[in-house]
Structures are given as structure tokens and as C-alpha cells.
Structure 1
Amino acid sequence: MSEQDNLQDADGKLTINENKSAKVEVLETQEETSDHPDKIQDNVSDEIEANAPELTSDNEEQASVSEEDSNVSTETKKDAHVDEIEESNAEDAEDESNSERHSLEEKDYHAMSMEQLVIEFEKLLKHQKIQTIKSHVDEIKSEFNSKFTEVLEEKKEDFLNDGGDEIDFYYTSPAKKEFNTLYKEYRNGLNAYYKNLEANLKANLETRLQIIEEIKGLINVEENINTTYKHFKDLQEQWRNAGPIPRDKYNNAWNTYHHHVEIFYDFLHLNRDLRDMDFKHNLDQKLKIIERAEELAKDDNVNRSFRELQVLHKMWKEDLGPVDKEHREAIWERFSNATKTIHDKRQAYYADLDKAYEKNLERKEGIIEQINTVANDQGNTHQAWQKKIKTIEALRQEFFNAGKVPIKVNEATWSKFKEAVRVFNRKKNAFYKGLKKDQYDNLQKKLELIKIAEDNKDSDDFETVTPLMKKIQSDWKKIGHVPRKDSDKIWKKFKAACNHYFDRVHEQRKLENKDLYDAFDKKVKLLDAIKNLKLTGKSEADIETIKKKISDWKALGSVPYNKRYIEGKFNKALDEVFNKLKMDKSEVEMIKFENKLENLSQPDDTRLLDNEHNFIRKKIDEVKSEINQLENNLQFFSNVDDDNPLVKDVLNNIEKHKDNLNVWEEKLKKLKDMY
């Protein structure tokens, strides 16, 4: 594809061919603007400057452009907005892969954790060219080191608070180890790349200087002008394909090249047709470039416009030759004006971005104030500190998510944030240091109780040791927390010693009260039998069976005092059996009550009977009161038939309460017979 094919399509409109775009790399401008707060300088030229090829003294005269020369291009008169483009393209001239780094997605590394930063670093190394990720790696490194330093300081403070010696402190993490490995891989790869780049830059510069020398020599060649012109076009194509050269040599080399190209065109006055044809072609293409630049000046996407504008400037400068002198100043002025419009819009865009950064700064300063407030909170319990720790974690994450701040205050803001968190951590550590001391004291107290328990667990002096063992169990409950790592271990030791002693006490009591424990064991079996009792459905026979079980139960006698709960289980099981009987409920209730009275009857002790007597009297009074209330309610229905549903409901309730009253009065009669 020819140069003309790259510059225009079938309709004559300006295009940027994909192959040309691949050769003429575009820089992401956000990082190239010197006054933008997030500018990251590309130090490629610094890396190779010491060994970059210099123009020799023999070439200096040839490389300089005489200000007195009438052919000096208007394009050499630069303004700030053009300088910005020139500087960006000069960087591309040194390393054409520079622009690839600007196609990488911008990410908020500040909001990422150390583990997330390691993942992002690894992705860059695996999927991007080593020379294109410098700014991203630098930002990842800065954020990772800041976060790791914060953690390191916390760990060191904890270590010293626990009594450690500063000289013995060491801390790392899996994330830190992985980051170091990735960074070493990155540095090795980058060094190898720059070593190879340096050699290529030297060779390419020599090639370009040789091309300039050959162009200079064309005007002294005695040959057919058409042959000379074809040789000149070949040299131009070689220039375009000569590859990147050192940034600091780019403009000087181009100006020298352009100067001698213009001299050659002046030489072509011997054949004005060839020169005029080239001038006309260059003018047509530069006008198309201008038209495209003016379209871009109306685009609101300033970064996209600036990137394409860089390509247009490079095409103007490298792909096209001069135009007739009468047009040079006018077309350059027009192109420069379009460039200035885009430059000014871009500066306004970054001014607005700076305002957004100022708002982010306000948010971050507010978060720092909140952290200070939490740190000064007077809550001094474990629960209070746990709540504060969660609050601080949320505020830290909010700080990281708040976005970038102006570069001039970035470091100061980060320092204020770290100091606020550090103050909180110091107070937290001081609290837990005191808590650990209390827990250690509690541990010593519990260890002393364990010693007492183990020293007495095999004692036969039950009368003396039993109160002692009960006391130390009570003391254990009153002692506060111990370190978590010791809690389960010491509890198991204490519990084992106490259980061992009381198992021996219980065994001794069983021997002393063998009859009572035997009765308990038999009642357990009888209780299971009553729970599984199958009734025949014949009331009299079933009642006899139940009475027989009751009699058998009583015959077994008393149980140990601490086993008397079984009597309650027996009564509950009887209630369930009685409820299954197919007989009048009042009669069943009286049978159950008679059994209950026998259990309440104790020789020389009427307290249980007295309590039951009082309970029954109270129930009788309550039922009578309910009946009186219902009968009074009937007064409201004096003119209503007895068939009325409301009246019938009240009458039914009165009858039920009277039946209930009869049962309670019968119980009271039975109870009086017991005295």
C-alpha cells in the first residue's frame, strides 16, 4: 500500500490505515500532561541516555537548521499546545511500544487489598508486554508497599507490646513473598528489554543519519532527474521504516531531515513538474489532516481526540513533505489553531478532574476525623472494642474507595490517615495488653484451684473435703476469662478432678443407702412399664390395673433425696394413663386425687396436706365467683328467651362451673378425712 493509500480512501477522505496506525503508535495523554496530578514520567531516555548515540562534530553543522535559511518551515515555530504533541510523539519515537501501555485499562489500585494487587500484578506480567506496564507496576508497587508498611507497623507494635525485643522482630506474609517474586521477574524482564532497546536505538539512529547524508548527496549527482527523484522517494520510505531512535535526538534528527528534504525540493526547480506534483499532493493530504483535526476539535471526548491528534501530527511531520511556500504559513496556522482548541479543552477537562480530586480530599479528611472520633471513644470493654474495630475496618475501606486526591496533598493525606489508624491501634493494643494481663492473672488463680482439686480428689474425708470442693467450684465461676489458648485445657483438667471426687462421693452414698438406690432403679423400670401400659377399654378392669401399679410403686419405698424427681415423672405418666380411661372425667379426677393424697401424706408432717388444703379452698372460691358473675350476667337477658344462643351459652358455662365446683368440694372432703 502506498503512502497515498494510507492517507485517503476511495472518496478522497482522510483515513488512518490500520497498518499505519500500527506503525504510528498513539500515546494515552493522561500520563503525558506535565501539569496533570497523575502524570507518570516515562524514563526510557533516562535509562539509555548514557549510551545514546550523539551527532558527531562532523555532523553538527549538517544537523543544525540555519535560521537565515529562507526555507525554514513555519512548522518549526512552536507554541505550548504543539510542544505537548511533539513531546508525546518524541517519546513514541524512542519506543514505539510506549503507546501500547495507554491501551491498558485504568484501575483504582488504591482501593485494592494486598492480595488483589498481587493478582493484578500477575495478570499484567502474563498478558501484557513488559515495556508497556511500567506506570501500572509503579502504582501497584506504591500501593502495596504503603499497605504492607501499615500492617508491618501494627505487627511490630503488637510484638513489642507482648514483650518482644525489637532486634528479634521479623514479619512477612504470603502476599509479600509473592509480590517480591513477581517484582523480581518484572525487573529482570524490563532490564533485558532495555538492553535490547538500547542497541536498536543506536542502530536506528545511525541508519537515519546515513539516510540524511544520502539525501544531501542527491543534489550533486549527475544523473537523470527522474532517476534521482525515484532514489529520493526510496530514501523517504527507508526513513519511515527506520524504527525508533532516542527521544532526545528525535526532533533534531527530524528537523535536519526535513531541512534537507526542502533543499532537495528546491533542487527540483530543474524539473518543476515533479516538484509541483509532490507539493500539490502534500497540500491535498495536509488539508485533509486539517479537516480531520477540526472535526476532532468538536469532539467532547478530549482524550480520544488528543490521541488521534497525535497520529495526525506524526503523519503531517513524517509521512508528508513540504508544500509550496505560499501555502505553508496558512495551513500550519489552521492546523495549529485546531490543535490549540483540543489542547484547551483537554486542560479544562483536567481542571474539572482536579475539582473532583478536591471533593475526594474532603471525603478522605472527613473519614480521618471519624477515625479520630472512634479512637477517642471511652468505651473500654471487649465488646466495645470489637465494635470499634469493625467500624475502623469499614472506615479504612471507605477511605480506599474514596478516589484520588490532588497529587500535591496525596502524601500528606496518606500520612494523616496512617497516623489516625496508628493512634487507634495503639489504644486498642494497650487495652488488650491490659486484658491479657488480667487473663494471665485469672489463669494463675484457676491453676491454683486445679491444684486444690487434684490434691483432694482421692480424699476419703468426705465430710471435710466435700464443702471445699463445692467452694472451689463456686470460686471458679467467679474468676474471669483466661487466654483462649488455655481455656479448654484447664477447664478439662479442673472438671476431671472434680468429677473424679464426686463420683467417689456418690459411690460411697450408694453403699450407705443401698436400699434407697435399689428402690430408685426398680421405680425407673416400673415407670417405663406404666408409660407403655395397654388398657383393655373396660373401665373397672383398667382402674384395677392402674391401682395395682400405684400400689406396686408405693411398695418400693423411698428413693434418695436427689432422685425424688422420679415421683413427678410417675404422676405425669399416671395422668396420661387416666386420660385414656373411658369413664366419667369427674370420677377419673377423684381417683387421681386419691393417689395424690397418699403421696402427700407424711408421718408427723402435715405441711404438704396443708398446702393442698389451701389450694383447694382457693379454687372453690374462684369457681363460686365465676358462677356468681355468670348468674349476674343473666340479669341482662331478662326479656330474652332461653333459646337465645347467648343465653344458652351462659347457662352451659354455669353448669360446667357447678360440676367443677362439685369436684373441688369432693376433693376438700377427702382431704379433711386425711387429718
Structure 2
Amino acid sequence: MLEEKDDTLPNAEDNLESTPEHTDETSTTPEETPATEETISAEETPVTEEETPATEETITAEETPVTEDVVTEEPTPEVVAETTPEVEEVTEESEQTIEEHQEAVNEVHENAAEEAEDESANERHEIPVLDYHAMSMEALVTELEKLVQNEKVQAIKDHVDGIKSEFNEKFNEVLEQSKADFLAEGGNSIDFHFSLPVKGKFNVAYNAYRSKRNDYYKSLEKDLNANLERRLALIEELKGLLNVEENINNTYKHFKKIQEEWRNAGSIPKTQYNNVWRTYHHHIERFYDFLHLNRDLRDLDFKRNYEEKQKIVARAEELSKEDDIIHAFRELQNLHRLWKEDIGPVAKELREEIWNQFSAATKLIHDRRQDYFKNIDKVYEQNLIIKEEIIAKINAISTGNYTVHNQWQNKIKEIEKLRQEFFSAGKVPLRVNEETWAKFKQAVREFNASKNTFYKSLKKEQQDNLSKKLALIELAESLKDDDDFATTTPKMKKVQADWKKIGHVPKKISDKIWKQFKNACNHYFDKLHAQKNEANKEESEALEKKKTFLDAMETFELSGDTKQDIETIKEKISEWKSIGRVPFSKKNIDNKFNKVIDGLFNKLDIDKQESELIKYTNRLENLDADKINSEIIFIRRKTDEISAEIRQLENNLQFFSNSSSNSPMLKKVHQDIDRHKKALATWKAKLAQLRSL
């Protein structure tokens, strides 16, 4: 049977004892003796002649069941003879089927044995593996410290190895760059020394991991060996029950005690797991077969064990239909451990039947799992193609020629997007996993190297920019306390404009110098604004006075004495000017005053030109130097235009040489000439006043 073949005991003959004598009522026939049909397979249990005891009984591979244990019911002493089922003829086809089933069962048992040593094996897959390549050295150290402090040391080996590899590569990059800079500045390689605080923190965390790991494995080895010795002692104790002369009930209680201690004995080295269990189970069978137990209670035990194994078979058949085959296979391993460790034997005539059912479900789950991995390999191959295309794109970007900051920033974003696509592409075949990961990291590192080279070339430019900005800060600080606002304000505005034209400076000092420059500028312009606010106060007061003065002028009446009225008007004009400037937005009040003055002059019986010049003199007081120059240019243009008009009119007189002096047309021309000459005289007088200023 498959079950028995799996449980063949290596060196099992060493553990056999001579069969004790029994009465005719309880004596066993050759068919009942567990090892009369064939000897142990040489491949599975090599035994030398010296190791084989002198006994007629030998253990067969087919008749050592896998996981059968006795039940806890305490039977009364009576053993009833049983017969071994006839052995069917094995054909070539059935041998192939048996081999396929055995392969499936062996894989389940091997995985179960692999995990028997460490109960936390499943936990290792629950700790997420982060993108260590994307993390900084500080972040890597923080993650390592967290793992060492919070997780079981046996569950984080892969995580720690990944962190260590990435940290060392990043540290070596910084080390090499620092050494290159040191040599470029004229240093000698012998004098080069480099250290980072984060390296010390990493060493502390990694040494803590190694210490905990060493302590764990020393403790584990000690515990496993102690558990092994305890289990071997229990086997010897179990063997001794066959020769004990005592009440059968006491013997059975002793047997149950051994079983309980076995269950609580703990894990043993995985290399010993199956062999030790097989030896133990063999002697469980011998105890059952040769002990004088009550047949009814024994059958009851067998019945209950059979029912429990039927439940396991039913659950295995359910798992064979489950969609999540990985979960099904893991639960199947637990079912096999229950079958082997927790459930006792069944009646011999049912052992092969129940085992074949369980084995068939096991084979079905095993085959589905194999198909799953075949199909998943196709998916992994497709993922590999996608990842290789991503790596090729990264390499293409790395070889590009980018000369400005914005181009590099765009490429950095593209690389980050490709990195995310790489991590989202899924797993690749295990055979190329490390190679693909190495190619990806190398492609990203080459891009980063090119990027770092570019930004290193900007370092000198940034230093030059820093020198220029420091010079502007010095100039701004020298001007910030100057009270000559008319002269200093244009200079400060130019300093600000020059600052904007200068490019980037090193980031670590950028904020500092900006604050220094801003404070100097703010200090000056705060003073300027304070001075303007004071001036605005005076202008507001002047505005109120002018409003009052304007109201009085609108009701002012002339005396009738032209000469006296002219002087009075001039005094009013002087008084208005003495009040001072008003806010720029209220300049219109001066225009209102001028209109009032114009109205007064119009009421006077004086020459129009004289009146015009007096009013013009009043307006000149409000002109600054730039406006005076503009006014001079305007008057010159005006005098030139009027002179040209006069010449044209005088030329036109030639057309009236034969006309009467009373001709209306001729009179009109003479009138226009006189009017233009008066206007020309007025404009010339205005120009003379401007020049006198």
C-alpha cells in the first residue's frame, strides 16, 4: 500500500523484540504478524546483516501504516485474531499509478517535515518585503531596526539580506563619489578618510540581528536535540511495554502516558523527523497487535479512528475542488499531519481502502498544484518579457543627452513611472528572478549616475550664483539705512531686479540667504513707506485746506479796480500754492482752482495776452523738471506751426494783388495773419518764461 510504503522504517529491525509467548486463545497466526510477506526495501532502509536480529518476524514496507495512533479509550485485555487482506497482483500499469501517487504523497510529507522544525515558517511570508532599492540609507536602517526589534529573527533573513545588500551599494556609491571629489580637489588617496553616522547605526542594528540569530539557532539546536533524545527515550519506553509483566490496564495507562508525552515532546531536527516517527509508529502497531486487548473496545477505537479519517478524506476531497489551490495544498499538509500524529489506526481490512481514498485526494490536489505552477510559469514568462521591455526603456533614457534641469526632472518622473510599472508587472520565473532584478537595479543606477554627473556639473554654477547673491546682499545691507529716498530707491529696485536674474544656489543655503536679502530690502522699503505715510498725512491736511480755500474763491467778488484786482488774484494764487501738495489722486482740485482763476481774469478789462501769461505763470508752479522740458519742446513745435501758418497766409496775399482793399476775402486773410501773430507772441512769451525757470 502507498501508506505503508511511505512509512517504511529504516533500521526498524533494530527496534523489534521477540514475540512473547501467549496462550492458544490469543496466539497470532503468520497472517496476523506485521511483517511476514516481504522485507524492507533496500533503497529505503539499508540494514546490514549484523544489524538484523535473530527473529522470524521482519517488517514489510507495505504493512507499516503512516499516521495511525491509538485512541484514548481504555480497553479491557483481550486480543482477537485478525487476518491480513489478500495481496492483489501488481501490474505494470498499477505500479506506475502507485509511483505517481507515492510521488504526490512524498511531496506533501516532505513539505510537512520541512515545516516541522520551525512553527514560524508560515509567518515569514506575512512580513511584507518593501522596495529597498527606492529607500534611502536612513530609511533602510530604520526598517532594519524595526524588523530586529519587532519580528522573529528566524523570519526576517531574506528581509535583512535585501536591506544589507542595498545599504552597502548605496554607501559604496557615496564613498566612491566622496573619494572622487577629494582626489579632484588635489587630495591624496592615502589621506582620504570617510565616515557617515548612518553607517554606524546600520552596524549596530545588523550586529544586533546577528547576535539574536546566533542565539536563536544555538537555542534551537539545543532544543531540537533535547526533543530528539526525549522522543527516542519514549520509543525505548514503548518497546519495553511488550515485555512488562503487569496488569493490562496499568500497561495501557502507561501506553497512553507515553502517547501524551510524545505529542508534547516538541520539534526535532527535520532530517530525523520521518525516521523517528516511523519507528515510533511501528511500535504503536506492535503494541496494538500483540497486546491482550478487549476486542469490542478495540473495534470501537478502530471505528472512531475510521470515522475521523473519513472526515479527513472528505475534507481533502473538498479541497481538491477549491479554487485557491495554494491554500488547499497547505491545508492538505495539515491533514497529513493530523493523519500521522493525532489519529490512531483503523482495522486492518480498512486500512488500505481508507488510505487509498486519502491518497487519491492527495494526488488530485498535487496534480492541480503542478498544473497551477505550469500555467503560472507561462504568466511569469510573460511578466519577464514586460520587465525586460521596461529595463530596455530605462537604458534608453539613461543614454539620452539632457542639458537643462527641466529635462532631467521630466526624465526622473519617467524613470519613477517605469519603476512602478516594473514592480506592478508581477513575478518572473525563479531561475531568472535574481538576474532580472540585478539588470533592473543596474539600469536604474546608470540613470542615477548620469543624473548625479549632470547635477554635479551644476555645482560650480550654483557656487558662482551664490557669490553673486552674497554680493547683492552686501549692497542691499549697505543701502537699507540710507534716507536719501529719491536716490536710493532706484538702486534698491535694481538690486531686486538683479537678484531675480541670478540662477539657483545650493539648496542647503538657499533659504538662509533669501531671508537675509529679504530682510535688508524690507528694512529699507518699510522706512520708505513710513516716510510716504508721513507725507501723505501732510498732503491730506493740505487737501482739506484747499477745499476750504476753493469754496471761498468760488464766492469771491472783484472790486472793479483792474490793477488792484490783478494783484489780489496773484496773491490768491500765491496763497493757494503755499498750502502745499495734495495726494496724487486728488490733483484735480488744482484744475478746479485754475478754472476759478480763469473766470476771474475773464472778468477783468485787460489784454487777453496779459491774462493768458498770468494764468500760464500760475500753472508753471506745478511743473517738475521733466514736464518743463516737455513743455519747452511743445511750445517750440507750436511756434513753428504758427510761423508756418503766417508764412502761408502772407503768400496767399499775392493772389489778391488785383483785388479791392474792401474785398471780404482779403480782409479775412489779414485778420487771420493778425490773430496768428498775436498767438505767436503769446507762445514766445511763454517760452521765455520757461527758459527763465
TM-score of the two chains, using structure 1 as the length reference:
0.60
Q: Does 1:411 align with 2:434?
A: yes
Q: Letter of the 1:141 partner, please give it.
A: D
Q: Is the 8 A contact 1:71 1:262 kept in 2?
A: no
Partners of 1:302 and 1:346 within 8 A in 2: yes
Indicate the residue corresponding to 2:633 in structure 1: 607
Residues 286 and 316 of structure 1 are in contact (CA less than 8 Å); yes or no, is this contact kept in structure 2?
Answer: yes
What residue is the counterpart of 1:424 in the other structure? Answer: 447
* Counterpart residue type for residue 329 of structure 2: F
Equivalent residue in structure 2 for 1:257, among 280, 285, 288:
280
In structure 1, C-alpha distance between the alignment counterparts of 2:634 and 2:330, rounded to whole Å: 101
Contact between 1:379 and 1:385, CA under 8 Å: does it hold in 2?
yes
Residue identity in the other structure for 2:253? K
1:319 paired residue number:
342
Match of residue 301, structure 1, among 324, 330, 350 = 324
2: CA distance, partners of 1:205 / 1:274: 33
Give 1:312 deviation, angstroms. 1.4
- Residue number in structure 2 paired with 1:86: 109
Aligned to 1:72: 64
Q: Distance in 2 between matches of 1:315 and 1:426?
A: 57
Instruction: Tell me the equivalent position of 2:169.
Output: 149
Matched residue of 1:146: which SS? helix
Q: For residues 613 and 144 of structure 1, do their structure 2 counterparts lie closer, same or farther at Cα, with a shift above 3 Å needed?
A: farther
Structure 1, 165-174 or 141-150: larger mean CA deviation: 165-174
Paired residues for 1:638-657 under 5 Å: none
> 1:372 is matched with which residue?
395
Decide which of 195, 216, 232 is 1:209's aligned counterpart: 232
Matches within 5 A, 1:76-115: 79-101=102-124, 104-110=126-132, 113-114=135-136
Secondary structure of the 2:291 match is helix
What CA distance in whole angstroms lies between the structure 2 residues aligned with 1:107 and 1:603?
80
Matching residue of 1:186: 209
Task: Tell me, in whole angstroms, the C-alpha distance in 1 between the residues paired with 2:127 and 2:382.
Answer: 24
1:541 counterpart (553, 557, 571): 553
1:403 is displaced (CA, Å) by 4.7
Corresponding residue number in structure 1 for 2:363:
340
- Contact kept? 1:95, 1:245, Cα under 8 Å: no
1:607, distance to aligned residue in structure 2 (A): 1.0
- Counterpart CA distance in 2 for 1:546 and 1:371 is 88
**Bigger RCO of structures 1 and 2 (CA < 8 A, at least 6 apart):** 2
Quote how far apart the aligned CAs of 1:60 are. Answer: 7.1
The code of the aligned residue for 2:158 comes to D
Other-structure match for 1:577 = 589
* Root mean square deviation of aligned Cα: 5.6
Which residue is 1:286 aligned to?
309
> By how many angstroms is 1:290 displaced?
0.8
Task: Tell me the percent identity.
Answer: 47
CA contact (8 A) 2:234 2:262 kept: yes
Mark the CA change 1:385 to 1:96 in structure 2 (over 3 Å): closer, same or farther.
closer
* Superimposed CA distance per residue, residues 530-575 of structure 1 (whole angstroms, 9 cap, x where no aligned partner): 456451285452799998797479899xxxxxxxxxx9x9794662
How many angstroms apart in 1 are the aligned matches of 2:222 and 2:583?
Answer: 103
C-alpha distance in structure 1 between counterparts of 2:420 and 2:305, whole Å: 57
CA distance in 1, matches of 2:142, 2:416: 22
How many residues get paired?
A: 508
AA in 1 matched with 2:63? N
Identify unmatched segments of 5+ residues in structure 2.
1-45, 68-97, 476-490, 518-534, 557-567, 601-611, 643-678, 688-693
Alpha-carbon distance between aligned partners in 2 of 1:71 and 1:413, rounded to the nearest angstrom:
50
Change (3 A) 1:59 1:577: farther
Paired residue type of 2:632: T
Q: Deviations 1:208-234 (Å, cap 9, x if unpaired)?
A: 112212222222223333333332222
Is the contact between residue 144 and residue 163 of structure 2 (CA under 8 Å) also seen in structure 1?
Answer: no
Deviations 1:109-158 (A, max 9, x none): 45762455545444444444444x23xx4224314532551464256236
Deviation at 1:190, TM superposition (A): 2.5
The one-letter code of the counterpart of 1:170 is F
State the Cα distance separating 1:363 from its structure 2 match.
4.2
Separation in structure 1 between the aligned mates of residue 387 and residue 124 of structure 2, nearest angstrom? 30
Say yes or no: does 1:381 pair with 2:404: yes
Deviations 1:46-76 (A, max 9, x none): xxxxxxxxx99999769xx956466333789
Distance 1:395 1:270 in 2: 73
Is the 1:91–1:98 Cα contact (8 Å) retained in structure 2? no
Change in Cα spacing, 1:305 to 1:422, as seen in structure 2 (3 Å) is: closer
1: CA distance between counterparts of 2:123 and 2:545? 90
After superposing the two structures, state which structure 1 stretch, 390-399 or 223-232, moved more.
390-399
- 1:227 is the counterpart of 2:250: yes
Greater percentage in helix: 1
> Which structure would you say has the larger Rg?
2
Kept after mapping to 2: 8 A contact 1:110/1:401 = no
Deviation, structure 1 residue 249:
0.6
Q: Is the 8 A contact 1:530 1:573 kept in 2?
A: no
**Cα distance change of structure 1 residues 419 and 98 upon mapping to structure 2, 3 Å threshold:** closer
Letter in 2 for 1:319: D
Partner letter of residue 575 of structure 1? K
1:170 to 173, 187, 194: 194
Gap runs ≥5 in structure 1:
1-54, 454-468, 495-522, 557-566, 617-666
Change in Cα spacing, 1:91 to 1:579, as seen in structure 2 (3 Å) is farther
The answer as to whether partners of 1:161 and 1:433 remain within 8 angstroms in 2 is no
Q: CA deviation at 1:380?
A: 1.2
TM-score after normalising by structure 2? 0.58
Residue 316 of structure 1, CA deviation: 0.6
Indicate the SS of the match to 1:606: helix
Hey, what's the Cα distance between the residues in 2 that align with 1:322 and 1:491?
A: 85
Q: CA deviation at 1:671?
A: 6.2
More deviation, 292-301/241-250:
292-301
Give the letter aligned to residue 587 of structure 2.
Answer: D
8 A contact 1:367–1:399 mirrored in 2: yes
C-alpha contact 1:269 1:275 (8 A) present in aligned 2: no
Counterpart in the other structure of 2:180 = 160
Between stretches 290-299 and 576-585, larger displacement belongs to 576-585
> What SS does the aligned partner of 2:341 have?
helix
CA shift, 1:184, in A, is: 2.3
Shift, 1:250, TM fit: 0.7
Pairwise CA distance, 1:245: 1.0
Using a 3 Å threshold, how does the CA distance of structure 1 residues 189 and 249 change in structure 2: closer, same or farther? same
Residue 320 of structure 1: SS of its match in structure 2? Answer: coil
For residue 107 of structure 1, report the CA deviation from its aligned partner. 4.5
| Residues 535 and 542 in structure 1, CA contact (< 8 A), matched pair in contact too | no
Kindly tell me: are residues 361 and 100 of structure 1, through their superposed partners in 2, closer, same or farther at Cα, counting changes over 3 Å?
Answer: closer
